[in-house]
Amino acid sequence: MGIRQLHIVICLGLVASIFAQNKNTDSTYIRPFPEKITARISLVNTGNSFFINDRENGINYNLKPNTREYLGFSLLFRSIELDFGFLPDFLKQNKDNGSSRLFNLNFRMFLGQWMQTLNLYNQKGFFADLNDIEIALTGVKTFKIGGATSYIFNQNFSFRAVGFQNEWQRKSAGSFIPALHYYYTTFDIEDSGASSKSTSFDIAIAPAYYYNFVFKENFIFGMGASVGIGYNHNDLGDRSVNSTLFEFGGRAVLGYNSEVFFAGINSSINIYEHASDRSVRVEDSISFLEFYIGYRFNAPKLFIQTADKVNNYLGL
């Protein structure tokens, strides 16, 4: 694989301080692994797609990113995670992508019962489904950055068990998790020498509920959904459009967990629908599908001693 064919996707989560497990958590519900390093490999399919309803011209079409799959490798110790991903040529869906590209950054951190996520998608090259005909749009580029700030009410519910795998949910538990979502998106379209640019800003309050079903202690089925409402602002260059924003989200996880080995499937989708009387309506969706396996091994004593000193110094 030459360097020009190596599409790099880096998912880098680096937390400045090492946060300890919440001290009020019941250990019969959650088994943390503060003394272990977690290594995992995953196959990820992700992307930011758009559905456009042009009522004025009677045209509906989907804009789907050209390049979406990558292999990911990660090492995780407590709340510090380092991830690296790349798009190999042998993945069938990644062939014949021409000049398309995908740069994806995912970040998640925890502070007590607060959870912060950050997502970045820089994409070039889309396919458009227009009247059942697939058209390649190599001149379409999008950039999205944003995330969500959430609060997990039930301390015995582990989001890390379905998102990080550095905790083991040993008894079934659920939690109400309200969140504030916010995203900024730019669109850059070049076609036949002409170009157009526009920007979009979304913000929404989205109550959510998630539940981890644990059976035979080692197997977990997690699921949850969110429904929210907010505000969208579009700057189309010559004019601005404001509208109500509706958020719909869902997550489903199936996995196996033990002291040293884990594996599973992790999937989620978030849809942001702009509702207004304008002639063109845009539905913005972020999808994520991951197949993963991993192994935990004992961390060096120096790692543990340093982390404990940082926690004691910060009072965590």
Q: Does 283 have pLDDT greater than 60? A: yes
Quote the pLDDT of residue 62: 76
Question: Higher model confidence: residue 96 or residue 105?
Answer: 105
CA distance 165 to 33: 9
Quote the pLDDT of residue 3: 38
Quote the pLDDT of residue 149: 95
- pLDDT-above-90 percentage for the chain: 29
Residue-level length of the chain: 316
In sign, the C-alpha dihedral spanning 136, 140, 141, 142 is negative
Question: Higher model confidence: residue 122 or residue 275?
Answer: 122
Q: Measuring CA to CA, which residue among 22, 48, 17 is closest to residue 186? A: 48
Amino acid at 248: F
Residues contacting residue 184 through CB under 8 Å, at least 6 positions apart:
144, 145, 146, 199, 200, 201, 202
DSSP H or E segment with residue 106 = strand 101-111
Q: Does 276 have pLDDT greater than 70? A: no
Supply the pTM of this predicted model. 0.80
Average pLDDT along the chain: 79
Residue 315: band (very low, low, confident or very high) from pLDDT cuts 50, 70, 90:
low
Q: For residue 165, which phi and psi values (nearest 5 degrees)?
A: 65, 25
Tell the residue number behind the tokens 């110790």, with chain if given: 77
Quote the pLDDT of residue 141: 87
Do residues 202 and 182 lie in contact, with contact meaning Cβ atoms separated by under 8 Å?
A: yes
Q: For residue 199, which phi and psi values (nearest 5 degrees)?
A: -130, 155
